[in-house]
Structure 1
Amino acid sequence: MAKRLPDDFDVVFVYQLSPVLMAIPGIKYARKNKTPLLLYCCDLWPESMKLIVKKERSFFFQIIKKISTSIYMDCSRILTQSSSFVSYMERVHMISSDKLSYLPAFASDDYLEANFTPDDSTVDFIFLGNVGIAQNLEEVIEAVATLGDLQRFILHIVGDGSSLAGLKLKVSNMGLDEKVRFYGRRPVEEMPNFYKLADACIVSLKSDNLTGLTLPSKVQGYMAAGKPIIGMIDGPAKEVIQKSGCGICVPSGDVQGMSNAMREFITHKDRYKNCGANGRKYFADHFSKRVFMSTLYNELNELRSKRNVPVF
């Protein structure tokens, strides 16, 4: 027999991943007990459904959209993991702006004080993480191929995924084996070695649908490690890179722009010597656990004062 919950909780907190239906039990409790509900949106619905249901006008997609709207409307307050989610909520679900706020997920600060200064003359670019279609590394490799006149650089790709085999074949066919190295999946204990090697870190992402609305967690990791970032990406990641002054960013899919950015960094690396420190400062101010928990506590405490006020 299921245990009956007490009816005197101050606030209902929903950590919303997928599917959005997971929020329904919390909403039912909040309705019954007139308790404020705070939802932290990590997966945006029905946008996440586009990975499965391609046609937005389909009957099934429209049903999911209506359910999603109803769920988000029933929340007292919504915090979003991505800044782009806020405008989506306003546009698609007609959620009032005063009900929404951006709260980026915190990341590990283990590398915030570490010394990862490279110790050789080669310019080493590092990509860390999933190697899939969304990461768009094919176009990063195409950018590398245009830098044949430059000798002193290497792109290191650390990670595994659905595109790894194809990327290895592409590199071989293009004769780039000396410029691109693959390491596969490596244990987390080895990450400091790769950060020590890196002069700059690479992030790229297709701008299709939901993926273009998110901030890849690797961006926060790169910033904590104090590494300049070279990005071929749109959305929140581009905004963070530009606001923090931690690197160079070109639009998603802009191969020539990525080539120019890498060339600029290779030939004028000293111009970017402050990017690492800029990234670490921005990380400490926006992505630390301390900042996240303080903001979340204040949000919960604010709703707590409305404990017995009907919110639905």
Structure 2
Amino acid sequence: MHIAVFSQHHTNPDCPATSRHYTLLAHLARTHRITLITTNTWERLRLTHRYPWLPEGVEVRTAAVAYENKMGVGQRLLSFGRYAAYAIREGLRIDKPDVIWGISTPLTAAWAAAQVARLRGVPWVFEVQDLWPTFPIAMDAVPNQWAQRRLYALERNLYRSAQHIVTLSPDMSSYVAGVGLAKGKGWQFSQEKITTILNGTDLDLAALATDEAVAALRQANKWQNRRVVLYAGTFGRANDIPTLLAAAEQLAPNHPDLVWLFMGHGYDEPLVHAAAARCAAIRLVPPQPRHAVFTWFRLADVSIVSFLGLPVLDANSPAKLYDSLAVGTPVIVTNPGWTKELVETEGCGWYVPAGDAAALATHIAKLLAEPSIISAAGQAGQRVAPQYFDRQELASAMQNILEQSAKQP
């Protein structure tokens, strides 16, 4: 079977990124022909060269289209539009696929997949990684109401035209189901059209975070007798970085053995630089390749999964959550959605409301005073990870959806 994959942001484990689709594509390419239509954005950002850029057996068409988190709205729209135009052109040139897999974000990548599927008369599967356009609208990135209505109409049409819809969290699935079940609309569809396949994590890479690797990392940074709180990920507008910095500065005077690591890059990086300059407890760590990030998670006593207190962000499926739990480091989440339910039900973390620096500082102080609680939560996370988060199992689920979708008339 020939599968065409439309993904603007392809990465591999040498990149400072989650690389979900690298694992899924590698699995699919063992038994199917795969053509990936993507860009060269992340290839130029590789930090190491330990892994092939493409999994074995994956064919690629690559557009030279720039993108970065610091871009403004206009620059992003130009980037999205350029990729969509390229993807449609290449999608019409490649050998006819049996099924198309369109991955958002951005929504325009899925739109391009839908256009090629329509023109070539083949089914397509829509993978929803973020709730667009609800997310950019909630972040005031699309203030014009006419533009908002057009984007919502585009979203509904994509849901309607897709043979199947895959989301990365149960809350995303609930949102999509609400759209599909809305009364009085011509684009109604049933909940059976939607499947949740979590973002997940790579357990083989998590196994690289050995005792020896953690000890070497501690020694290299002179953190042998330090407690560590870690935020690893994008310093984006939605990640509530100012709250984390405020909590770190509140804790610092009474916890001289505590170090807060902020690992990543993005829009709020200047804020992290400034905080690190005035507070010795705060350290800015450069982005790490995916294969190395697990040792940093295991080094930490606790990690933070933070977002602004917006309902749309409650549905997120952040890789840092899975990566941290896979190595036995419990997490603090700041949104009252499915992640709160997960960590509380499984006993692998805690919830602190978004935007409340004082509550976050107080909760961390209590945890540091009772190491046995942290240890028990970490062990619970390691039990949960192979049950629900293994990307090899998730890849099999994705393969089944693509195969079944290709058989549909």
Contact preservation (8 Å) 1:16, 1:22: no
Partners of 1:302 and 1:185 in 2: CA distance: 38
Partner residue, 1:278: 380
Q: After superposition, where does 1:1-312 map in structure 2 within 5 Å?
A: 3=93, 5-6=95-96, 9=98, 11-18=99-106, 19=108, 20-29=110-119, 32=121, 36-50=123-137, 51=139, 53-55=141-143, 58-93=145-180, 94=182, 95-109=189-203, 110-112=205-207, 114-116=209-211, 120-147=224-251, 148-170=253-275, 172-173=277-278, 176-177=279-280, 179-186=281-288, 191=293, 194-208=296-310, 210-305=312-407, 307-308=408-409
SS in 1 for 2:259: strand
Contact preservation (8 Å) 1:285, 1:291: no
TM-score, with length taken from structure 1: 0.81
Contact preservation (8 Å) 2:100, 2:123: yes
SS in 2 for 1:274: helix
What is the RMSD of the two structures over their aligned residues, measured on CA atoms? 3.0
SS in 2 for 1:146: helix
User: Structure 1 residues 192 and 301, CA, compared in 2 at 3 Å: closer, same or farther?
Assistant: closer
Residue identity matched to 2:149: Q
Contact preservation (8 Å) 1:105, 1:287: yes
SS in 1 for 2:131: coil
State how many pairs are aligned: 298
Contact preservation (8 Å) 1:27, 1:74: no
Partners of 1:143 and 1:124 in 2: CA distance: 14
User: Structure 1 residues 206 and 303, CA, compared in 2 at 3 Å: closer, same or farther?
Assistant: same
TM-score, with length taken from structure 2: 0.64
Partners of 2:310 and 2:143 in 1: CA distance: 14
Contact preservation (8 Å) 2:171, 2:337: yes
User: Structure 1 residues 96 and 196, CA, compared in 2 at 3 Å: closer, same or farther?
Assistant: closer
Partners of 2:130 and 2:288 in 1: CA distance: 27
Query: C-alpha offsets along residues 218-257 of structure 1, whole Å, 9 cap, x if unaligned?
Result: 1121122221213333434333323332222212112232
User: Structure 1 residues 284 and 145, CA, compared in 2 at 3 Å: closer, same or farther?
Assistant: same
Residue identity matched to 1:267: A
User: Structure 1 residues 241 and 22, CA, compared in 2 at 3 Å: closer, same or farther?
Assistant: farther
Query: C-alpha offsets along residues 65-101 of structure 1, whole Å, 9 cap, x if unaligned?
Result: 1122122112232111232222222334534222212
Partners of 1:226 and 1:52 in 2: CA distance: 37
SS in 1 for 2:239: coil
Q: Any unmatched runs of 5+ in structure 1?
A: none
Contact preservation (8 Å) 1:212, 1:235: yes
Query: C-alpha offsets along residues 40-68 of structure 1, whole Å, 9 cap, x if unaligned?
Result: 22243322442564337x11221221122
Q: Any unmatched runs of 5+ in structure 2?
A: 1-88, 183-188, 219-223
User: Structure 1 residues 54 and 285, CA, compared in 2 at 3 Å: closer, same or farther?
Assistant: same
Runs of 4+ off more than 6 Å: none
* 71-80 or 40-49, which deviates more: 40-49
Bigger RCO of structures 1 and 2 (CA < 8 A, at least 6 apart): 1
Contact preservation (8 Å) 2:163, 2:193: yes
Partners of 1:279 and 1:86 in 2: CA distance: 23
* 220-229 or 18-27, which deviates more: 18-27
Residue identity matched to 1:154: V
Contact preservation (8 Å) 2:209, 2:295: no
Partners of 2:237 and 2:259 in 1: CA distance: 22
SS in 2 for 1:161: coil
* 90-99 or 265-274, which deviates more: 90-99
